[in-house]
Amino acid sequence: MDSSRRLPKVSAHDLLEIVRRLVVSKGPLPHAVRSAVDELFLLAPIRYYLQNYTQKQINAFATHASRYLELYYPTGSIEISHTSRYSHRTGKSELCILATRNLASGTVITELKGSMANLTEEEDRELKRTDLRNKDIRRDFSVIHSKSMKKNHLFLGPARFVNHDCDNNCELFREGKYITFRVLRPIAIGEEITAHYGDSYFGRKNRHCLCETCEKKCRGAYAPDHTDDDIPSDSSFSDSDDSDSECDDTPAIGPDNDVRQRQLNLDERRTRRGVYAVVNKEEDQSDESDDEDGNVVPLAGATDIPSPGEIEMVTEGDANSDLTSLPSSRAPSNCNQAGPSRLHTSASELTPISRSTSSLSSLSSTEGPGASPASKAKYQSIISTRRQKVEAAARLSTSTSTPPTEDSASSRRVTRSSVSLTPSKPKGEQKGQSSVGSTPTPRRSDHAKAKEEPKLKKDDSDPRTLRPRLSTTVTASEPAKEGSSKPEIPRGPDGKPLPICATCRSILPVISVDHKIVWGLGLEKESKKKREKQNCPRCMRHYAIYGEPWPRRLPLPGFASTFTPTPREEMTPMESTRKVTHKVLPVLDRKIAAVASSKRKRSSEEADEEEEEERPTKKHKVLQQLLPVKRVPIPLPEGQKRKRGRPRLSSLPRTLSAPAPAVKVEDDEMPLHPSGFKTQGRRMNGRFERKVSEPSTNKDYDSNSPPGRAQRALERERMKQIMEKDSKRGLSDGEIGQVAKRGRRDDNEPPLKKVFPKRMVSGRSGNLFSRPNPMSFAARAWANPLVSDNGSSDDDKGPDTPEDSLSPPAIVTVELEEWERGPSLIVTAPAILPAYKPSPFSFARRRWSSLSASPIDEQMKSTNETRPPHGMERILGNGCSSSISTRPTGYAKWVSGNDMYTSEEEVRARSPIQP
Ligand SMILES: C[S@@+](CC[C@H](N)C(=O)[O-])C[C@H]1O[C@@H](n2cnc3c(N)ncnc32)[C@H](O)[C@@H]1O
């Protein structure tokens, strides 16, 4: 056992879905529970958690889980709920067990199971250390101490949430490794199930007990002279001290000990696998005895479970607890074996009982076969005080159970625990009936006759941050009052109304974890409207699971269920009746992996779709703001169906009811392509197809754009020729300059177009043009071919940069469209072609540096061969400028002037200046 282990983090939603499917599942309970366990085992965190455990341990886990899942079945009679009764001591919100139906005395609450796991000495020590070492790990286990074995056992299962009350309404039984409870007196819906831990569990004579009985009697921790001196602290968890337990045998509460204890029958036999019969020690030691189907081991390592009567609850963190020595359980020798059968109740039985005498008497009639007085005597509590022993003996002699009377109910008192006493019922129904939902247990008539409890002394000085206690006492007459007038609003000691649950009318709890309040604080301050709608966590959870208001678990006859749980998406990879074996684990793994990957795929596809939907939305944001447009679904081509999800919505309406507002295009803005943009094709799955890039043939479009480098080079070349002509004609330098300025070299030639650099809108690019540096110079030069210089052709040759000579040959990759794709075509330029990094900087460098021709050009000249452009730009030997334009798609094009050609030859052929 790894006491510091982290628990698997399972999504609450996943768990809720499993439980919801369980509650609506048809068929026998074990089958439904088994299916739910199978589903649980499909959850990745659970699988991850179990991966290192043995088969036996995995089975034990399955059994353990089934005990909890079983509670939710609609026929179940208990639920786990919060209680804040002990929070101020433990610092955490504790749990308790509440009845979800009326329980007759003698009823064995079969689903309230517990089991004990052996703790090795090392594990025991480890548990004690855990708290000190890992403060963030809350110890949430109970320990039972076996006096005869002098060792501790881990108490597991829902039974471990049964709290102690000095006047308990249930008693503990043990069968084999299981522990369960039998009802001692009628319990109403919502009432807490309590047991007796022992006379000295909470200190000597339970002087630190916080139970409701002690509260009412001003005893235990509520005693006027109570001191916190020896209150056990969580961190001082230690082995129980048995020393004074033998002598401390006085029951805290109960009748006089004048009834002689009877000899109880130890040979009680089990009639079926269950938890309500007592077995003898020999039988108890056999491991297989409690296996339902021969393969379920209740808990790992549970081999030497103590015999009945040898166990005691060991307080968590109780260093000083005085543990009571318990005698062996004995059942009467004349006992029959017939045990109580599982409770079968209809939805109508789920109505909370009334506290009126008539309702209470009806409780007796609900008693099942297991509730017969005779059956009561068959079981012996394993945690017994002297009072209980006396009572057990008394029960043997008298076969009648005393149902609570009106008087008994009158002694109920509302506390601030997780549930309230306020008689009520779920909204809109059960009018005139009391909601029980209360922690306080019904008093026996003898106790009930006790005088009005004195006001609690500790109330005012109580430093806890819990909801204040009520200052009023709820009496049995209240239900009657309630029927006629408004239900009484519970009030705190300050007279202010306490927030109550809209459904069960309990006082809303304050739930805290590690001394931090996580729920319920500040609810008093909410507006009246909000407060009236507020439900307690228990009722909220109940509704989430059953779709019915608490405490109903099934829809009313004639009404359909208000919700349908998500159907199981994947079948469990094993038969629900089969055990979880290591063989099936790989199958489960594969299944989980498949589910996970399909989920991932689905979510990525959905993300894609959403992105697609989003993109145009952003693009046309302005338009959308101007026009309140309605998103319309895009009609799919006939015969095509959208596979799943909501219909695709166009971000823009295809048909706008109002004409689109005119968008003014600024003159200096890039004009739209006259032929418009081609719509990009879409694939079946809605994704865009690749754009088919075509060479631009529209010269108008190109002519509007600034001249390219090739064009500028061409212009320079022309200029050079004109100047040469002029000089031949004998023009002076000044005249030549004027011609150049005039931009007219020949009457037949079109005027040179002066293109000013475009002003960049923002950022560094804007500065580029305003600051005199090589960068801005280069940019200007690129943009404007008429930047005056002496027209030296040397300029055009460009310098040879170190990169040029060192760089590896450029590789031009020509990609073909999918449809025309063979293998990718890679065109490798001649080895001499140096790489060129096109940047204003390198351009400037070339302009400013040496004017000599590069060695490459020299070589070219000498071999008289043409070669691909010098990087992005070079002056060809024939005076035609060409460049490579590499589009992002990887298409290579020859560009000359404004035109684009597919080959160098074409460039040369179409060059206006032929050699
Ligand atoms: C077996 S557990 C019961 C379940 C427990 N409430 C929980 O949520 O884990 C025993 C613990 O419950 C609390 N408890 C139960 N009954 C109590 C009582 N009468 N007085 C004080 N603490 C009690 C103590 O913290 C005790 O250690």
- With 0.90 as the threshold, say if the pTM is over it: no
Cβ 211 under 6 angstroms from ligand 1: yes
Summary mean pLDDT of the chain: 58
466 CB-side CA count, 13 A:
29
CA 309/CA 441 separation, integer angstroms: 26
Ligand 1 atom at shortest distance from the alpha carbon of 209: 20
Residues 6+ apart with CB under 8 A from 449: 407
Q: From the CB of residue 280, how many other CB atoms can be counted at a distance below 10 Å?
A: 15
Name the residue with the closest Cα to ligand 1, atom 17: 164
Cβ 209 under 6 angstroms from ligand 1: yes
Task: Residue 537: name the closest of 518, 516, 565, 561 by CA.
Answer: 518
Residue 687 CA to ligand 1 center (angstroms) comes to: 60
Residue 163 CA to ligand 1 center (angstroms) comes to: 5
Confidence class for position 549, pLDDT limits 50, 70, 90: very high
- Dump pLDDT digits (tens) for 453-469: 333 333 333 334 444 44
What is the best residue among 94, 209, 320 to mutate for testing ligand 1's pocket, by most ligand atoms within 8 Å of CB? 94
Cβ 215 under 6 angstroms from ligand 1: no
Confidence class for position 912, pLDDT limits 50, 70, 90: low
Whether pLDDT at 775 is above 80: no
Helices (H), 505-583: 528-533, 537-546
Query: For 10-19, b where at least 16 C-beta lie within 10 A, e where not — what string?
Result: eeeebbebbb
Ligand 1 atom at shortest distance from the alpha carbon of 86: 22
Which tops the pLDDT comparison, 99 or 172? 99
3-state secondary structure of 910: helix
CA 296/CA 288 separation, integer angstroms: 8
Cβ 160 under 6 angstroms from ligand 1: yes
Residue 815 CA to ligand 1 center (angstroms) comes to: 74
What's the confidence (pLDDT) of residue 512? 74
CA 156/CA 147 separation, integer angstroms: 19
Angle among Cα 266, 282, 311 to the nearest 5 degrees reads: 65
Cβ 467 under 6 angstroms from ligand 1: no
What is the best residue among 84, 163, 210, 235 to mutate for testing ligand 1's pocket, by most ligand atoms within 8 Å of CB? 163
CA 691 to chain centre: 41
Cβ 95 under 6 angstroms from ligand 1: yes
Q: Which two tokens stand for residue 274?
A: 């269950």
- Lowest mean pLDDT segment, chosen from 36-50, 355-369, 490-504: 355-369
CB 116 within 8 A of CB 307: no
- Dump pLDDT digits (tens) for 418-449: 333 333 343 434 333 333 333 333 333 334 33
Name the residue with the closest Cα to ligand 1, atom 10: 163
Residue written as token pair 């909370």: 352
CB 78 within 8 A of CB 193: yes
CB 902 within 8 A of CB 695: yes
Cβ 214 under 6 angstroms from ligand 1: no
Ligand 1 atom at shortest distance from the alpha carbon of 210: 20
CA 832/CA 853 separation, integer angstroms: 15
CB 90 within 8 A of CB 96: no
Residue 134 CA to ligand 1 center (angstroms) comes to: 21
Cβ 867 under 6 angstroms from ligand 1: no
Interface predicted TM-score (ipTM): 1.00
Phi and psi dihedrals of 22, rounded to 5?
-65, -45
Ligand 1 atom at shortest distance from the alpha carbon of 142: 1
Q: Which two tokens stand for residue 36?
A: 């739910």
Cβ 507 under 6 angstroms from ligand 1: no
CA 799/CA 778 separation, integer angstroms: 14
Cβ 86 under 6 angstroms from ligand 1: yes
Cβ 163 under 6 angstroms from ligand 1: yes
Cβ 197 under 6 angstroms from ligand 1: no
Task: Residue 158: name the closest of 75, 98, 74 by CA.
Answer: 98
CA 188/CA 664 separation, integer angstroms: 78
563 class by beta-carbon count within 10 Å (0-12 exposed, 13-18 middle, 19+ buried): middle
Which tops the pLDDT comparison, 841 or 829? 841
Residue 80 CA to ligand 1 center (angstroms) comes to: 13
Residue written as token pair 């177009």: 753
Over residues 509-522, mean pLDDT: 77
Whether pLDDT at 644 is above 70: no
- Dump pLDDT digits (tens) for 852-901: 444 444 555 554 544 433 333 332 333 333 333 333 333 333 333 334 44
Q: Could you give the dihedral angle defined by the CA atoms of residues 364, 365, 370 and 373, in that order, rounded to the nearest 10 degrees?
A: 50
Cβ 100 under 6 angstroms from ligand 1: no
CA 394/CA 385 separation, integer angstroms: 14
Cβ 231 under 6 angstroms from ligand 1: no
Ligand 1 atom at shortest distance from the alpha carbon of 141: 9
What's the confidence (pLDDT) of residue 203? 87
CA 99/CA 114 separation, integer angstroms: 17
Q: What is the DSSP string of 446-460?
A: HHHTSPPPPPPSHHH
What's the confidence (pLDDT) of residue 476? 31
